[in-house]
Copies of this chain bind each other. A is one copy, B any other.
Amino acid sequence: MSVTLNTKFTAGFIADHEFTSIEPEAARAFRLLKSHTGPGSDFLGWMDLPVAYDKEEFARIKVAAARIQKSCDILVVLGIGGSYLGARAAIEFIKSPLYNNLKKDTPDIYFAGNNISTTALNELLSICEGKDLCVNVISKSGTTTETAIAFRVFQSLLISKYGEKEAAKRIFATTDRRKGTLKELSDRCGYETFTVPDDVGGRFSVLTAVGLLPIATAGIDIDAMMQGAADARAQLSDESLFSNDALRYAAARNILMRKGKKVEILVGYEPYMLMLNEWWKQLFGESEGKDQKGILPDSVVFSTDLHSLGQFIQDGSRILFETVVNIQNPGSTFEIPSDPENADGLNFLAGKTLDEVNKTAMLGTLFAHTDGGVPNMILEVSDRTAYSFGYMVYFFELACAVSGYMLGVNPFDQPGVESYKKNMFALLGKAGYEHEREQLAQRMK
């Protein structure tokens, strides 16, 4: 298996009988999922996606990616939340966080339309000057403010740069299959479209066209990624948390939460984990953070952050547990050189690989943090291949859904995301929000 859970370091925090005792809850949660009888069961498309995905569209994604690779220097991907985090996580994890700065034969990829920053938009426009561009706009409705504003700007830029006909070949829309402003606009303008499935929520959508088109454009093997997810689906089918590690992870989280561990920190030891951490934070935070409940998802990259948040984790308020993602095979190697003078006293490391030292820092930290009262789980991941990424995505999605049902929430909705939007539209004078506008005006007096 490409991803396994190692609970060696939780021994002092979770007794075996606690796992036994909570197992029926985990099994019940998993059965709710499989029988499509739990809350939010209209959004379970992610469960069978790795085998039941649209093969015709998948083939079109590869063709489109090849066309994008050939025709531009920069692919601008417009989307927010689940419409960008998965693709960005995959590209950083499998390729590099410095993807745009490395020499390569695939286009640079910039993610935009995920904020309302003047600076960010102006800077990206200046980076795009004189470059050949393609755009992938990702929005189920087409009306998401951040993404729609950016698309207005980039659509008009491409039309003025290439003319309507050529621009149409350079714009790819990932949106609703049938309806919505973006779908209608795309059909009218002749943009190729891909589908955001009706039964897959944004945060579960990385293995749909939402994630796959940018990922394939970066030169990543999306067949291998789907195979990894398919194997995870097959191998994580058991209802026992003693044989199904996704269930065991879900169970351990709930045991720790009920003991007052209110924050889970996802820990990586590689800078290429940064956006995977962010993807994971959306997945768990948006699925579980409701009904005034949930474990707050947080993240760090060590050893970097051992020199910033390390002190708090070691000795601060005891509300934390950590889940360490250990990438077993680093993919490349670097041997620490010897120095005849040994001025820095580092020769005890000479001849060791850098990854040996990194893994030893991890082991030393596992001992230190558990000694300090912070429960630690380890998620062992074989490597940073597309296959393992797909496997890990499915592992986390399944664990998240099971954990959410154990917590007693609907893991597939996000009602709280509308609250700020409603106020924003009211304050901006959007039609239909007159009543809210008046109420807010009263409060601002």
The residues of A with any CB-CB pair to B shorter than 8 Å are: 80-82, 85, 96, 98, 100-103, 114-124, 126-127, 142-143, 145-146, 148-149, 151-153, 156, 181-182, 184-185, 202-203, 262-263, 269-272, 278, 281-282, 285-286, 288-298, 301-304, 306-320, 330-334, 336-337, 339, 343-346, 348-349, 352-355, 357-358, 360-361, 363-365, 367-369, 371-373, 414-417, 419-431, 440, 443
Contact = CB atoms under 8 A, between A and B. Distances in A.
A303 B355 CA distance: 37
A441 to B, nearest CB: 11
Interface of A is mostly: helix
A420 B293 contact: no
A316 B291 CA distance: 6
Given A115-B271, A289-B309, A306-B420, 20 more contacts: A96-B123, A100-B101, A101-B101, A116-B269, A118-B353, A120-B270, A143-B344, A146-B303, A151-B344, A184-B343, A202-B307, A263-B263, A263-B296, A285-B308, A293-B317, A310-B416, A311-B414, A311-B416, A315-B416, A357-B428
A287 B201 CA distance: 40
Contact of A117 (B262, B269, B415): B269
B310 A417 contact: yes
Nearest to A413: B311
A124 B272 CA distance: 13
Contact of A344 (B185, B294, B365): B185
Nearest to A373: B292
A117 B81 CA distance: 28
19 contacts: A116-B358, A118-B332, A118-B354, A118-B355, A120-B271, A122-B334, A145-B357, A153-B337, A281-B308, A282-B307, A290-B316, A292-B316, A294-B317, A296-B319, A311-B416, A314-B419, A348-B430, A357-B428, A361-B424
A290 B103 CA distance: 44
Given A307-B81, A360-B424, A368-B423, A344 B181 contact: yes
B269 A286 contact: no
A80 B372 contact: no
A115 B331 contact: no
Nearest to A336: B149
A121 B354 contact: yes
Given A282-B308, A308-B285, A364 B421 contact: yes
What are the 5 tightest A-B residue pairs by CB atom distance, in nearest-first order?
A: A289-B312, A289-B316, A81-B307, A364-B423, A314-B416
